[in-house]
A and B are shown apart, each in its own frame.
Chain A
Amino acid sequence: MMKQSKILFPLALLALAVGVPAAAPLTITQKGLQFSSTEISVNKGQVVTFVNDDRTAHNITVKGDGVNLNGGLQQPGGQFSVPFTKPGTYEVSCGIHPKMKLEVTVK
């Protein structure tokens, strides 16, 4: 995942460099074995930061439009940021608790 993130971050920066406006980072919390939203809409290039407010470890997996990211283990209190650089619809889930799902639409 970290390797894949490193690939996506420069893409996000490239988007900024060519003048595409990127909105402020958005924070989604993981608490009570749920994401704080079930669906969100973000702008191309916007970063979503996932904050684990649970007592248990989580994981961030992003799938859709050719993307398959695995964020590895996210301990309680840990954060993980994902830049969404390509328009489309993505499913964010937790590999450990698959019931945790969030749909991200990138405009």
Chain B
Amino acid sequence: MKIMRVRFLTSLCLLLFACAAHAERPAALADFERPARVPAPRGNPMTPQKAALGQMLFFDPRLSGSGAISCASCHNPALAWGDGLPRGIGHMGTTLGRRSPTILDVAFGEPYFWDGRAASLEEQAKGPLGSKSEMNMQADAAIGRIAAMPAYQSAFEQAFPGQAISLDTIAAAIATFERTVVSGEAPFDRWVKGDEEAVSQSAKRGFVLFNGKANCAVCHAGWRMSDDGFHDIGLPDDDRGRAAIAPGIEQLEHAFKTPTLRNVSQRAPYMHNGTVATLAAVIDHYDTGFVRRPSLDTQMKPLGLTAEEKADLLAFLDTLTGTAAPATIPVLPH
């Protein structure tokens, strides 16, 4: 009888503890659930043949004028699909104007480029190919090189039956492959799904700050932590960003696309110009370090974060790195 009473009390305590833990779950977690499927446009549906062809093209340096640069040069799977550099390196070692963004979860993130000048991933894929400072490859030359290889001819016929090899089909295949690059489930995702042990107490406090005092979630919204919008966050450079593409809105001066925070701890340096070396320095920037000017986003205000709060935010950001399957590098046609 005594043993039963002890068991009953133990069960009651566990139940109360579980209820208390559940009650403490931030309501905002519901806004961060991962989607069930990866989207693809009606005009370019996902097929395994297109994805396989796109993977070859993505890793093929022969798509560049020099024969030395592939898409993967700037979007390297070993570097969280970025390049780890402050600014991209293009044709013949040219330092580009902005940092290479990751392509993790790009299927969800239109429009593309830091200034959003490409409405679709297919359009985006054509940009670096033709850019003289990036891959420096004319469309005709790219098509000629690809069409000269029988294995590519066969892969194109399987991916695009009855269609000629063209810049459009090259871009459609690359975009299809890029849509397969999806971040792996992270500790944060397991917490969202209900596993209270998946993240630390510090990270949980960081999540509350992220949605509250630090005001990060106003732009870093949703499961990718991006509103896919454009904001001037007060970085001191002369790049007009989105305003050069969409003039007439003062707030778009010096405004750049909100990057995803997936795998963010693997993707230093930060910002569109790679001028912020660490995540701790990023938090300091938002706390007090930004430039005041008319275009500054109205959400940018001094935060007054304590050292402990900054540590909690860092702990939260560390929970956003997932464990995706290792990327495979294809054997290229000759």
Contacts and interface: CB of A to CB of B under 8 A. Distances in A.
Contacts of B252: 95-96
Contacts of B116: 98
B219 A99 contact: no
State the majority secondary structure of interface residues on A. loop
B63 to A, nearest CB: 28
**Chain B interface residue number, banded:** 20 to 34
A95 to B, nearest CB: 5
Interface stretch (A21-29, A44-52, A67-75): A67-75
A85 interface: no
A1 B249 CA distance: 10
Contacts of A97: 227-230
B227 A56 contact: yes
A56 B228 contact: no
Nearest to B111: A98
* Residue among B246, B249, B298 with max Cβ neighbours from chain A (10 Å): B249
A73 B295 CA distance: 10
B218 A55 contact: yes
B251 A57 contact: yes
Contacts of B326: none
Interface in B177-218: 218
**Chain A interface residue number, banded:** 10 to 19
B298 A95 contact: no
Interface string A71-104: 0110100000000000000000011111100000
Nearest to A54: B218
Given A33-B221, A55-B218, A96 B110 contact: no
Contacts of A70: 248-249
Contacts of B298: 57, 73, 75
Contacts of A1: 248
A59 interface: yes
Given A56-B219, A56-B299, A73 B251 contact: yes
A22 B263 CA distance: 52
A95 B249 contact: yes
A52 to B, nearest CB: 12
Contacts of A96: 229-231, 249, 251-252, 255
B32 to A, nearest CB: 13
B72 to A, nearest CB: 27
Interface in A36-64: 55-57, 59, 61
A33 B251 contact: no
Contacts of A99: 110-111, 228-229
A75 B251 CA distance: 11
* Residue among B111, B229, B231 with max Cβ neighbours from chain A (10 Å): B229
B308 interface: no
Contact of B228 (A55, A57, A98): A98
A96 B218 CA distance: 13
Interface string B240-266: 000000101111100100000000000
A61 B245 CA distance: 14
A95 B249 CA distance: 8
A98 B116 CA distance: 9
A4 to B, nearest CB: 11
22 contacts: A1-B248, A33-B221, A33-B227, A33-B229, A55-B218, A56-B218, A57-B251, A57-B297, A59-B251, A61-B246, A72-B249, A73-B249, A73-B251, A73-B298, A95-B230, A95-B246, A95-B248, A96-B231, A96-B255, A97-B230, A98-B228, A99-B110
Interface of B: 110-111, 116, 119, 218-219, 221, 227-231, 246, 248-252, 255, 297-299
Given A99-B110, A99-B228, 13 more contacts: A56-B229, A57-B297, A61-B246, A72-B248, A72-B249, A73-B298, A95-B248, A95-B249, A96-B229, A96-B230, A96-B251, A98-B119, A98-B228
